Amino acid sequence: MMRKSLKDIPLEEMIAMVQQGDQHAQNYLLQSYQPFIAKCVSEVCKRYIDPKRDDEFSIGLSAFNEAILSYSSDRGSSFLSFAKLVVKRKVIDYIRYTQKKPVAVSLDETYDAEQMENPTEIVAVKKMYQQEQDAWYRREEIAEFTQKLKEYKISLAELTEVAPKHRDARDSAVGIARMIFEDDGLREHVHRKKKLPIKDLLKVVDVSKKTLERNRKFILAIFIVLSEDFMYLKDYLKGVGK
């Protein structure tokens, strides 16, 4: 009975329940999302992961639970995008540790401060670890962004070449991408055909056909960022094109 009722609850609402101490919801999520966790771990290990035999899966399961407890919608990404990053990072750390390679110290709430007597040193190491984590998340996000670009027949390298050089032109292109994303019909067109609806856009934007075609790839790239859970890339767009 409990599982049937939980099944109908939106994911983020259930996460809030877990964060408020609901163990039934926590157990349900950990059980239901095992295939998702195994897939994330498999992407790191580059092989099939057996949940019953592979230690890496246990690490991934623990990381998924950590993601549940630490997730906040204020991060600007969906829970599953956030959880995937957390799981992958923890598994990579585990693999590095087992291979006896240097690994960043995982400084969480259970970190033993007695390892370092100097409080300033503790703060500095925590800051360095956070910066290293952020850098890893950015690399993962850019890798996913690169794959999405390929679906639209755009490469990351050529994107740097076609990006508008002038601020006004860049703001205008970002504004057009936002307009497409916010319009149900235009958004569906781009998602389906992986192309700009040039004719439809000319009816609602104050730019020429030549300008739209020249900035086509850049507009599509911004549209991809807006459509996906790219929290770091979205930071670059705050206040631009509005």
Q: Report the CATH architecture of 2-109.
A: Orthogonal Bundle (1.10)
Asked if 168 and 176 count as a contact pair (C-beta separation under 8 A), the reply is no
How big is the CA angle at 230 (ends 226 and 232), to the nearest 5 degrees?
A: 115
Which sign, positive or negative, has the C-alpha torsion 112, 113, 117, 122? positive
Mean pLDDT value across residues 23-43: 92
Q: Is the pLDDT of residue 101 over 60?
A: no
pLDDT in tens, 40-90: 998 888 888 888 889 999 999 999 999 999 998 776 668 888 898 899 889
> Quick one: which of 85, 81, 76, 80 has its CA closest to 238?
76
CB 141 within 8 A of CB 233: yes
pLDDT averaged over the chain? Answer: 82
Give the whole-number percent of the chain exceeding pLDDT 90.
Answer: 45
| Residue 8 confidence (pLDDT) | 81
pTM, two decimal places: 0.55
pLDDT (0 to 100) of residue 32:
92
**CA-based end-to-end distance of the chain:** 48
Mean pLDDT, range 158-180, rounded to an integer: 91
Q: Which two tokens stand for residue 194?
A: 């992986």
**pLDDT tens for each residue of 217-231:** 999 999 999 988 777
Indicate the SS3 state at residue 19: helix
Instruction: Output the pLDDT for position 124.
Output: 64
- For residues 33 and 26, the answer to whether their CB atoms sit within 8 Å is no
Q: In angstroms, what CA-CA distances link 178 with 175, 210, 211, 219, 220?
A: 5, 20, 17, 9, 10
Domain boundaries, the chain: 2-109, 156-235
Q: Would the CA dihedral through 200, 206, 209, 210 be positive or negative?
A: negative
Do the Cβ atoms of 37 and 57 come closer than 8 Å?
yes
Average pLDDT over residues 152-169: 90
Task: Provide the percentage of residues in the chain whose pLDDT is more than 70.
Answer: 80
Gap between the Cα atoms of 56 and 44, Å rounded: 10
Residue with tokens 């859970």: 229
Judge contact between 110 and 46, C-beta under 8 A. Answer: no
Q: Convert 27-76 into a string of H (helix), E (strand) and C (coil).
A: HHHHHHCHHHHHHHHHHHHCCCCCCCCCHHHHHHHHHHHHHHHHCCHHHC
